[in-house]
Structure 1
Amino acid sequence: MNTSSVLKWVTGGIEAFFAIPLLGWLIYTHTFPGLFLLLLGLHIVTLVLSIKDGKNKHGSILGIVTACLAWIPIIGWIMHMITALLLMVDAKRSERAIEM
């Protein structure tokens, strides 16, 4: 498993946590800008490593957008869910590509 896949699992898990209705939004907005900057940084690092490894970068790009829009209650919740799913699917596909 390469570093970009591991980071996709990590960021996907964090995104899934923040997709928990109300709890994720409360934590995200009450720790602003700390968590925002952490998530944004993780998504940027994951994007750079994905590009370097020649892997899918869509989840990381959406993660950057999600980090910026997560403070909007319903939109942020939906975007966290979609981003978590996309990152985890990307990570699983990367693992399968390595196994073959």
Structure 2
Amino acid sequence: MSLSRMMKWITGGCEAFLGIPIVGGSFILSTTWGALLAMFILHVITLLITQKEKGSIAGSVIGMVTSFVGVIPIIGMIMHIATAVVLLIDAGKNES
């Protein structure tokens, strides 16, 4: 498994967790939005690795946007779920 694929699984799983109603929001608030900063950094790292491996960067870009939008309660939850779906589908694709 490539490093970019592994990072997409990790970031996708984290985004899925943050998208869980009440639980994800409570976690974000309990870290004083530090979780969103950590996710932004993870998405940047994933983007750089994926670019180097010439893979799809869409999930990481959406994830970086989500890290900023995540402060808005309902919109943030929807964005976390959408980002998780994009990243996990991309991670699950067969490598060519």
TM-score normalized by the length of structure 1? 0.91
Identity %: 41
**Residue 74 (str. 1) matches residue 74 (str. 2):** yes
**Residue 6 (str. 1) matches residue 10 (str. 2):** no
Bigger share in helix: 1
Correspondence for 2:37 = 37
- Ranges of 4+ aligned residues in structure 1 off by more than 6 Å: none
1:33 Cα deviation from its structure 2 partner = 3.8
Correspondence for 1:83 = 83
1:29 Cα deviation from its structure 2 partner = 2.1
Once residues 82 and 13 of structure 1 are traced to their aligned partners in structure 2, the CA distance between those partners, rounded to angstroms, is 12
- SS at 1:48's partner residue? helix
Paired positions, count: 96
Provide, for residues 24-56 of structure 1, a one-character-per-residue CA deviation record: whole Å limited to 9, x for no partner.
011112212421221111000000011110101
Tell me if structure 2 keeps the 8 A contact 1:29–1:71: no
1:97 Cα deviation from its structure 2 partner = 1.7
Once residues 61 and 23 of structure 1 are traced to their aligned partners in structure 2, the CA distance between those partners, rounded to angstroms, is 24
Residue identity matched to 1:73:
P
Residue identity matched to 2:80:
H
Give ranges in structure 1 of 5+ residues lacking alignment. Answer: none
Give ranges in structure 2 of 5+ residues lacking alignment. Answer: none
